């Protein structure tokens, strides 16, 4: 497996994988109309291209031995957390892995890449939000020593989702 920094030419594949993984993970919990509206807004190629052009956003892609993209991460720089005003924090906004490769250590490799990236950029911590009902993801983050420190709400259509906020000090 190879992990590399995404470029503008990767916008289409990022949009496709983002759409597929979000749908596969969350569609069964939400109204189809709400899911489709969110996917159209968050994972369209133009939005991804805009993100790729933003120096405050960093994507990394994971490829298999055939150079097919099988997952990615999205990091947000210059994040301020009220509970940690003296820490330089980066947000892991997305860590997505295709369903077909779950359990094959792709997520772990992407997470390790994020941790190394944050260290290289002199961050004090990484934080993320995770839906409180997503026990599998929460357990995954805990394996890397992320700790729950707060909660927040995320609205997807008519549904309010409660997220845990988790922090890894590095």
pLDDT (0 to 100) of residue 155? 87
* Chain length of the chain: 170
pLDDT (0 to 100) of residue 102? 87
Q: What is the pLDDT of residues 98-140, one digit of tens each?
A: 999 988 999 999 999 999 999 999 999 999 999 999 999 999 9
73, 118 contact by CB (below 8 A):
no
Spell out the residues 6+ positions from residue 64 whose beta carbon is closer than 8 angstroms to its own: 1, 70, 101
- The residues spanned by each domain of the chain are 2-169
Higher-confidence position of 59 and 29? 59
What SS3 state is found at 74?
A: strand
What integer is the mean pLDDT of 65-94? 93
The encoded tokens of residue 166 equal 């988790």
User: Could you tell me the fold of the domain covering 2-169?
Assistant: Aminopeptidase (3.40.630)
119, 84 contact by CB (below 8 A):
no
Above 90 in pLDDT, residue 79?
no
Q: What is the pLDDT of residues 45-60, one digit of tens each?
A: 999 999 999 999 999 9
CB atoms within 10 A of CB 57: 17
Above 90 in pLDDT, residue 167?
yes
Structure pTM?
A: 0.94
What integer is the mean pLDDT of 51-71? 96
Query: How many Å apart are CA 101 and CA 92, to the nearest integer?
Result: 20
């Amino acid at each position: 497996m190879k992990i590399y920094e995404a470029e503008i030419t990767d916008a289409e594949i990022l949009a496709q994988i983002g759409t597929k993984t979000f749908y596969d993970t969350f569609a069964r919990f939400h109204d189809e109309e709400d899911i489709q509206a969110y996917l159209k807004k968050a994972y369209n190629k133009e939005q991804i291209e805009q993100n790729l052009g933003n120096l405050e956003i960093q994507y990394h892609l994971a490829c298999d031995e055939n150079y097919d993209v099988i997952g990615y991460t999205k990091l947000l720089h210059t994040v301020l957390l009220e509970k940690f005003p003296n820490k330089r924090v980066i947000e892991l906004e997305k860590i997505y892995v295709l369903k077909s490769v779950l359990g094959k250590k792709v997520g772990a490799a992407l997470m390790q890449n994020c941790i190394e990236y944050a260290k290289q950029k002199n961050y004090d911590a990484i934080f993320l939000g995770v839906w409180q009902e997503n026990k599998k993801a929460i357990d995954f983050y805990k394996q890397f020593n992320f700790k729950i420190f707060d909660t927040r709400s995320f609205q997807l259509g008519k549904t309010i989702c409660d997220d845990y906020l988790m922090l890894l000090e590095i």
